[in-house]
Amino acid sequence: MRGRYVIAGVGHTDFGKLGLDTVTLNAMACGRALQDAGVDKSLVDGLFVKVPTSAPKEILYGQKVSEALGLQPRWGGAWDQGGAANITLINMAMMAIETGQCDIALISYADNPRSGTRQAYARPRGNEAPYGWFSTAAGYAMIHRRHVAEHGTPERAFAAVAMAARKHGATNPKAQLRKPLNMDEYMASPWVVEPLRRDDCCLVSDGGAAVVVMSADRARQLQVKNPVPILGIGGAQTSFDLPLRETLTSTQAVRSGAQAFRMAGLKPQDVDVAQIYDCFTITALMTLEDYGFCKKGRVNDFVRDGQIEIGGVLPINTAGGLLSETGMPGMQLVIEGVRQIRGTANVQVPNAKVSLVSNQGGVMHTHSTLILGN
Amino acid sequence: MSAMKELQTDYPVPEVDHINRPYWDGLKEGKLFYQACACGHHWLPPRALCPQCLGTEWQWKMACGQAELISWVVYHVAYHPAFKDKVPYNVAIVALDEGPRLMTNILDDSEHLSIGAKVSLLVDTTLAVPLAQFQLVKNTGGTYEVL
């Protein structure tokens, strides 16, 4: 599969508080992605939509987006796998095209929790609500605590992830939070669910983002200007809720990354730039460990001294990630991964040849990995 | 019953159904039940099929009440109005000696908690919805030391 498929176009809306419904945001992002690819919408026969986190129970959501786009694709629908769904849907689109079931696919995600309801992020978790068990953040806080206890992970490691994202995001004119962060400010950041500080937590944002996927052959045929080859892709999930997991300190990035690296024929050392899903700082740290950029428990040595900032060993989240650009879960990271290979990123890693993107969902329930490159 | 502490009207309550009723009824008597399958698997939360062998040859068993602290968090923000006056409060994951793990509260000062600490069950049966909460077993386990 290596290099047989490309991301032919990318598009996104503004991020922040937009006051628009999610179907409209999806349609706007898709329109821009098609425009970027230079492809007429009449050619699209696959529409793969991630379920909006704010409205997980909406029936036939994918069909509503399809209708708004005036499409009648052979393949279409909505998929719920939390934040891992974006790259998973790219994977599904590739498989559909590979088997001749689809020719050109749009993959899209939009949500509006900032102007709509944030209830999904604060909701009670099952029958544990009487114990006060609420929110997405609390699950990550459980993992964060355990990682610190098992590996002695210092606060400056968590701060390094936030500071890199905020440094890069500060120069991104589209970013929702354009304010650099220093160590003192990080340490002064208030607890939300201890040990998570406010600056460990991603933004809450409205926005939409979409990509166009087709075969490399089709892209040549259509004379697509800036196709970016997909070198590797993979996914994995535990599915188990936190209390049912034997370990809290490893993620599905282990399996999802191994699959993507195997397909690409590459190793972590080959990666020039990475977009590492950073819904919370602990997520980025554990993903770096589990991809094999460093040994388990030694992530502080990897992220210290600006090594994950531009100019460092592995610049991550070069558009600001979820902590600075937009809190929407994941597709914006794919788009930034594409820009790095095109050489059009705002914070561009010079001569980037291999660009890695991670997506993950739930409380580390699901994971997906994308490796792009020329 | 006269001593029963009334709940605030908006306090979240569990959704009790025909599968998990014995679990919640057990807590009213101060007993914590888990499910044990003929295949040897033990689990919580309650479900109709054994998640290991998918069989129905399971029975309720009473936990001895001893457990180990896996991790915990401290809420400094109330995500629900009923918890506004409780912050900061902790929520923890504990592993029962019999295997199953559950979400709970540790009824000690959060400052005294440590991963690996031994905890024991304490059910306040005077609550309208009794909960399986735990307290630290002093001088045992983990790195916990009596101050």
- The reported pLDDT for the residue numbered A125 is 67
The reply to whether B108 falls in a domain is yes
Which of A124, A194, A244 lies closest to B80 in CB terms? A124
Give mean pLDDT, residues A97-114: 96
pLDDT, tens digit (0-9, with 9 covering 90-100), for A36-94: 999 999 999 999 999 998 877 789 999 999 999 999 999 999 999 999 999 999 999 99
pLDDT, tens digit (0-9, with 9 covering 90-100), for A280-314: 999 999 999 999 999 999 999 999 999 999 999 99
The reply to whether A123 falls in a domain is no
Instruction: Out of A108-122, A135-149, B95-109, pick the least confident.
Output: A108-122
CATH number at residue B116: 2.40.50.840
- Cβ distance B45 to A126 less than 8 Å, yes or no, reads yes
Same domain, A320 and A366: yes
The reply to whether A127 falls in a domain is no
- Cβ distance B71 to A248 less than 8 Å, yes or no, reads yes
The reply to whether A156 falls in a domain is yes
Same domain, A86 and A144: no
Q: What is the number of domains present in chain B? A: 1
DSSP percent split of chain B into helix, strand, coil, nearest 5: 10, 35, 55
Percent of chain A with pLDDT over 70: 99
If we measure between CA atoms, which residue out of A153, A139, A103, A211 comes closest to residue A363?
Answer: A139
Same domain, A196 and A215: no
CATH number at residue A163: 3.40.47.10
Same domain, A112 and A224: yes
- The reported pLDDT for the residue numbered B126 is 86
At residue A332, does pLDDT exceed 50? yes
Same domain, A253 and A362: yes
- The reported pLDDT for the residue numbered B146 is 35
Same domain, A188 and A77: no
The reply to whether B82 falls in a domain is yes
At residue B9, does pLDDT exceed 70? no
- Cβ distance A191 to B74 less than 8 Å, yes or no, reads yes
Percent of chain A with pLDDT over 90: 92
The reply to whether A129 falls in a domain is no
Q: What is the number of domains present in chain A? A: 2
- The reported pLDDT for the residue numbered B127 is 86
The reply to whether B56 falls in a domain is yes
Residue A128 Cα, gap to closest chain B Cα (Å): 7
- The reported pLDDT for the residue numbered B96 is 98
This prediction's pTM: 0.94
Q: Is the CB of residue B12 less than 8 Å away from at least one CB of chain A?
A: yes
Characterize the bridge pairing of strands B89-96 and B66-75.
antiparallel
DSSP percent split of chain A into helix, strand, coil, nearest 5: 40, 20, 40
pLDDT, tens digit (0-9, with 9 covering 90-100), for B52-61: 999 999 999 9
- The reported pLDDT for the residue numbered B145 is 39
Count residue pairs from A and B with Cβ separation < 8 A: 92
- The reported pLDDT for the residue numbered B7 is 60
pLDDT, tens digit (0-9, with 9 covering 90-100), for A177-219: 999 999 999 999 999 999 999 999 999 999 999 999 999 999 9
- The reported pLDDT for the residue numbered B1 is 39
Same domain, A67 and A146: no
At residue A320, does pLDDT exceed 80? yes
The reply to whether A310 falls in a domain is yes
Q: Which residues does chain B have within 8 Å of residue A151's beta carbon, measured at their own beta carbons?
A: none
The reply to whether B11 falls in a domain is no
The neighbour count for residue A155, using CB atoms within 10 Å, is: 16
Exposure of A352 in the CB half-sphere (CA atoms within 13 A): 32
- The reported pLDDT for the residue numbered A54 is 83
Residue A116 Cα, gap to closest chain B Cα (Å): 17
Mean pLDDT of chain A: 95
Q: Is the CB of residue B10 less than 8 Å away from at least one CB of chain A?
A: no
- Cβ distance A142 to B93 less than 8 Å, yes or no, reads yes
The reply to whether B2 falls in a domain is no
The reply to whether A150 falls in a domain is yes
- A121: Cβ contacts below 8 Å, ≥ 6 apart: A53, A113, A135, A136, A137, A204
Q: Is the CB of residue B96 less than 8 Å away from at least one CB of chain A?
A: no
Same domain, A58 and A162: no
What backbone phi and psi angles, to 5 degrees, belong to A236?
A: -165, 160
The reply to whether B5 falls in a domain is no
- The reported pLDDT for the residue numbered B11 is 84
Same domain, A181 and A53: no
- The reported pLDDT for the residue numbered A36 is 98
The reply to whether B93 falls in a domain is yes
Same domain, A177 and A222: no
Interhelix angle for A61-68 vs A22-37, to 10°?
A: 60
Give mean pLDDT, residues B8-37: 92
The three-point CA angle A234-A239-A242 to 5° equals 125
* Residue span of the structural domain in which B117 resides: 21-141
Same domain, A292 and A367: yes
Q: What is the DSSP letter of A51?
A: P
pLDDT, tens digit (0-9, with 9 covering 90-100), for A255-276: 999 999 999 999 999 999 999 9
The reply to whether A124 falls in a domain is no
Q: Is the CB of residue B122 less than 8 Å away from at least one CB of chain A?
A: no
* Residue span of the structural domain in which A197 resides: 135-202+230-373
The reply to whether A100 falls in a domain is yes
Give mean pLDDT, residues A123-150: 92
At residue B141, does pLDDT exceed 80? no
Same domain, A187 and A261: yes
